[in-house]
Amino acid sequence: MSERKPYKTDVSDEQWALVEPVIAAWKAAHPSVSGHQGRYEMREIVNALLYQGRTGCQWELLPHDFPPPGAVKYYFYTWRDDGIDQTIHDLLRWQVREMARRKADPSLVVLDTQSVHAAAGVPAGSTGRDAAKKVPGRKRGLAVDVLGLVIAVVVVAASAHENAVGIALLDKVAADTDAVEKALVDQGFKNAVVAHGEKVGIEVEVVERNPAQTGFVPQAKRWVVERAYGILMLHRRLVRDYEHLPRSSESRVYWAMTAVILRRLTGATVPAWRTA
């Protein structure tokens, strides 16, 4: 890495050692026609992506001591399209689960959605209005395990029904692993999701809220997905949806969770924004 003053979002040597093999393998599989090895250090590209995710800055406002915005943008989109973002995330997630003495893939997941406002430049065709939450923008759907680690993510227009998100999440979970046997959902998901779960071999249980309870009351096992959304909100690029394509929004979630998982694996911490 070039000599510069480090940012708090930079990966440490220990963290980079966990990520580098995947990127090195990708580089080896995509050699330059001219044989050029590339002008920019891949570690600095990753540092720039994690910095942007945490701070929420625009491409052109990335600090000058990172590689040029055009180069960072190129790798973000290329890794998104090649699935490298999810590959890195999933390999690290498996390590966290193994550290917790669990199998690589879970048998139970929790599904939920979150609607966020879309930025002004986001194409109207990929956004909508969540009628229940009164939010114009996009809707994120997460499937997480009992540790709060992301198993699947889906981003659609906020106007999409919970059923559509739930079905898409179940499809992704079933495609990525055959270990998941059960999914917990809230009452926003209807019978269509339960029926689709049967088709893909996943039992879907609708967890009903106790009518005697008022206000926010965490529900057993389901609370982990709420915590996951709270963690994502610490990454300012995710507080509002700035991405033109929903797939880019999904990639932002993977990179944000990769940063979280790297800290868990190495015992590192990052001060909260309110820390003086």
Please give the pLDDT value at position 210.
64
User: In this predicted model, which residue has the larger pLDDT, 31 or 238?
Assistant: 238
For residues 48-65, give the mean pLDDT: 97
Among 259, 222, 205, residue whose Cα is nearest residue 145: 222
Please give the pLDDT value at position 262.
97
How is the chain split into domains, by residue range? 104-243
Please give the pLDDT value at position 116.
97
Domain 104-243 homologous superfamily, CATH: Ribonuclease H-like superfamily/Ribonuclease H (3.30.420.10)
> What confidence tens digit (pLDDT) does each residue in 107-124 have?
999 999 999 999 999 999
% of the chain exceeding 70 in pLDDT: 90
Please give the pLDDT value at position 31.
82
Strand pairing category for 182-185 and 108-117: parallel
pTM, full prediction:
0.92
The yes-or-no verdict on residue 212 having pLDDT over 80 is no
What DSSP letter does each residue of the chain carry, written as one string?
--S-PPPTTSPPHHHHHHHHHHHHHHHHHS--TT----SS-HHHHHHHHHHHHHH---GGGS-TTSSPHHHHHHHHHHHHHHTHHHHHHHHHHHHHHHHTT--SS-SEEEEEEEEEEBPTTS-GGG-EEETTTTEEEEEEEEEE-TT--EEEEEEEETTS-HHHHHHHHHHHHHHH-S---EEEE-TTS-HHHHHHHHHHT-EEEE----TT--S--PPTTTHHHHHHHHHHTTSGGGTTB--SSHHHHHHHHHHHHHHHHHHHHHT-----TT--
For residues 67-90, give the mean pLDDT: 97
